[in-house]
Structure 1
Amino acid sequence: MAATGDESAVMDSICKAPAPPTDLQLTAEPEPEHEHEQEHRRDDATENPKAKRPSTNNDGGVETAEEATEPAEPDINELCRDMFDKMSVFLQGELTATCEDYKLLENMNKLTSLKYMEMKDISINISRNLQDLNQKYASLQPYLDQINQIEEQVTALEQAAYKLDTYSKKLEAKFKKLEKR
């Protein structure tokens, strides 16, 4: 049965697709319905004479085996050179980016080291000041102890004064009682 319209276009595209070099390409030759399809097939046959061999069998529905051909290859050396150049540019970019990352890390480490040195200096100063304060507190401790003793004595003296005041009031009250009698 002959291929029509879209089927014919699909079959033509299948026939034109390059086959891998080790595969055999088996296609059925559909009968052309239009003259331009017949001319197109003639052009294909003249472009690649090894690809299409005329069938000796007159039966139109029988598939024929065709010799596999490799598609025309562009200059491999030029393509390889181009690929290596592009890979070189890519790797240069990657290595440059990596180097820049390491430089950035190095700068960050230097800045961090400087900050830690500043913090170390600050902590040393704080430690010295704290030691000075502790020494001053230790030198003031006897005076603070004396102040505490004086405070205790003042409290005891105050209590004694209250007791004395209460006692004197009682005595006064007794004395007034005795006078009235």
Structure 2
Amino acid sequence: MRVTWPAVSCDREEVKMAATGQEAAAMDSISRVPPSVLQLRNDADTGEHPGHEEASGNVAPAPKRSTNNNDGGVETAEEATEPAEPDINELCKDMFEKMAVFLQGELTATCEDYKLLENMNKLTSLKYMEMKDISINISRNLQDLNQKYASLQPYLDQINQIEEQVTALEQAAYKLDTYSKKLEAKFKKLEKR
């Protein structure tokens, strides 16, 4: 049962528990208000008047008040029950299980990243091995070409010498041609005389 005063709303048991000694005795005397005064205060708080309960048909019945026979009709407060707190051990266990799942996921993702990097490194090393083989083959081919060129070099030198001789022979042929033309011209002059 909650007692409502003009500016304060609290449980009797809470007030008694908070007060000690003379304060508790004073609070106990204050809480022993006649039921009619309490009923009037409750009706005033809800905005209802004592005679209106019968007039309205859909008004809920007033809550039952338990009375203590020893106090002569004095109201007693019902103990407020707080909702039961969940077990801390269960909450900790649940938290640790979820944290373990989270960390397991993080570690799994990290392991997968490292596996991916490992596979990429393996593929890269294979590509480099292929490129190394290709470069070795190119180097061998260049060495073969250099050897063939070196073996052909004497023939190329001979070709250059023959070309020089041909050019010299060509010049000699031009000279011989011009000399023969001059000789022919002289011969024709001699014939005319």
Q: Which runs of 4+ in 1 moved over 4 A?
A: 45-49
Confirm whether residue 103 of structure 1 aligns to residue 115 of structure 2: yes
Distance 1:173-1:48 versus aligned 2 partners, 3 A rule: farther
Equivalent residues, number: 123
Identity %: 92
1:92 to 91, 104, 119: 104
Gaps of at least 5 residues in structure 2 are 1-43, 48-76
Provide the rounded CA distance (Å) in 2 between the counterparts of 1:94 and 1:73: 32
Provide the rounded CA distance (Å) in 2 between the counterparts of 1:173 and 1:46: 158
Task: Give 3-state SS (helix, strand or coil) of 2:86's partner.
Answer: coil
Provide the rounded CA distance (Å) in 2 between the counterparts of 1:47 and 1:152: 130
Distance 1:143-1:47 versus aligned 2 partners, 3 A rule: farther
Whichever residue aligns with residue 35 of structure 1, its letter is T
Whichever residue aligns with residue 182 of structure 2, its letter is K
Confirm whether residue 129 of structure 1 aligns to residue 175 of structure 2: no
Structure with higher Rg: it is 2
- Tell me the TM-score normalized by structure 1: 0.59
Gaps of at least 5 residues in structure 1 are 1-32, 37-44, 50-70
1:119 to 131, 136, 143: 131
1:149 to 158, 161, 164: 161
Q: Which residue of 2 aligns with 1:78?
A: 90
Provide the rounded CA distance (Å) in 2 between the counterparts of 1:79 and 1:100: 31
- Tell me the TM-score normalized by structure 2: 0.56
Q: Deviation digits for residues 30-67 of structure 1, max 9, x if unmatched? A: xxx8617xxxxxxxx97869xxxxxxxxxxxxxxxxxx
Provide the rounded CA distance (Å) in 2 between the counterparts of 1:139 and 1:34: 122
Confirm whether residue 175 of structure 1 aligns to residue 187 of structure 2: yes
Whichever residue aligns with residue 116 of structure 1, its letter is Y
Q: Which residue of 2 aligns with 1:60?
A: none
1:35 to 10, 34, 46: 46
- The alpha carbon displacement at 1:74 in A equals 3.1
Whichever residue aligns with residue 104 of structure 2, its letter is Q
Distance 1:159-1:46 versus aligned 2 partners, 3 A rule: farther
Q: Which residue of 2 aligns with 1:4?
A: none
1:139 to 137, 151, 156: 151
Give the structure, 1 or 2, with the largest relative contact order (CA under 8 Å, sep 6 or more): 1
Provide the rounded CA distance (Å) in 1 between the counterparts of 2:80 and 2:191: 158
Provide the rounded CA distance (Å) in 1 between the counterparts of 2:97 and 2:128: 46
Q: Deviation digits for residues 112-142 of structure 1, max 9, x if unmatched? A: 1111112111211111111111111111111
- The alpha carbon displacement at 1:76 in A equals 2.2
Supply the RMSD in Å over aligned alpha carbons.
Answer: 2.8
